[in-house]
Amino acid sequence: MNKELTKNFASGHSACAGCAFPTIVRTILAESPDPVVVSNATGCLEVTSTLYPYTAWKNSYIHSAFENASATISGVERAYKALAKKGKMKKKIKFVVFGGDGGTYDIGLQSLSGALERGHDFLYVVYDNGGYMNTGNQRSSATPYGAATETTPDGKESFGKVEMRKNLMEIVNAHHIKYAAQANVAYLADLKKKAKKAFETEGPVFLSVFSPCTNNWKFPTSQYVAIAKLATETNFWPLYEIEDGKYKINWSTENPKPIEEFLKTQGRFKHLFSEKNKGVIPEMQRILNDEWNRLAEKNNLHSV
């Protein structure tokens, strides 16, 4: 493996075969020209990369609780600035948080919001796999409408999760930060570009990266890139940036694939193809079209 990619995160970890976040972590950290300090919220990434007494992390690393990874990096970043002001720190250092959607959309949202509002100089990365995967696939507010999880099962009275996903990008943008972007592990050139821009931007920045979960989405380990690609080709997971409040869509097509193409690849959606749930997929497509149209309007508003 390329030494540049493994300079911060080694191959010695226990992530599932077909898991996306090792690629996400390596790709993002490789774009930092400076040493990094990582605060990692409890979750799949933390558990699989820090099996005591071993660690896959080759940079400075702090394991934080679910709820306080952003608060942890805030303290470290301010301590660094104080020491630099006194001349005790000469190196330039980058500060990064990694969290899953449970530790970002839900449990850690207050910590993230506070750090963004205070203006700390750090990059927050959420690897979004749409649920609490480390503890057995419970629903989170990032879980898609219609998905079956351990806490939103398909059954006689339900078709899975009945609520829409939380739009975290809009919540983050409401803090008026300089840069936020949505990326996808299947589009590494785009992810690299966004990570580089994030590291070059002073102040709080945010990356939301699509991260398929082979174990709980129930698909073959070899298919994670193909499924991630379908997420963008169906407009389920658009690639876009918000820079100084201006929206820019990075990938689009005049003929997006129907959402069925994405859904049929995963066991968590197989119940939606039954006769009793025949109305759910059209409703999912309507929701998806509405969300895309809202994003396209914002993109066109800021196009020159």
Cβ-contact 69, 99 below 8 angstroms: yes
- Residue 88 amino acid letter: K
Q: Are 249 and 270 in contact (CB under 8 A)?
A: no
Structural domain spans, the chain: 21-301
Pick the CATH number of 21-301 from 3.30.70.980, 3.40.50.1000, 1.10.10.10, 3.40.50.970: 3.40.50.970
Residues 6+ apart with CB under 8 A from 18: 212, 214, 220, 221, 222, 223, 224
205, 178 in Cβ contact below 8 A? yes
Q: Residue 7: what pLDDT? A: 84
> What is the pLDDT, as a whole number, of residue 257?
98
pLDDT at position 300 is: 87
CB 191 within 8 A of CB 209: yes
Q: Which helix (H) or strand (E) holds 159?
A: strand 158-159
Whole-number pLDDT of residue 1: 59
pLDDT reported for residue 303: 61
Q: Give every CB contact of residue 294 below 8 A, 6+ residues apart in sequence.
A: none
Strands 179-184, 205-210: pairing is: parallel
Q: pTM of the prediction? A: 0.96
If DSSP codes are grouped into helix, strand and coil, which group holds residue 63? strand
Of the candidates 34, 183, 206, the one whose C-alpha atom is nearest the C-alpha of residue 117 is: 206
Per-residue pLDDT tens, the chain, 304 aa: give them.
566 667 889 888 999 999 999 999 999 999 999 999 999 999 999 999 999 899 999 999 999 999 999 999 999 999 999 999 999 999 999 999 999 999 999 999 999 999 999 999 999 999 999 999 999 999 999 999 999 999 999 998 899 999 999 999 999 999 999 999 999 999 999 999 999 999 999 999 999 999 999 999 999 999 999 999 999 999 999 999 999 999 999 999 999 999 999 999 999 999 999 999 999 999 999 999 999 999 999 998 776 4
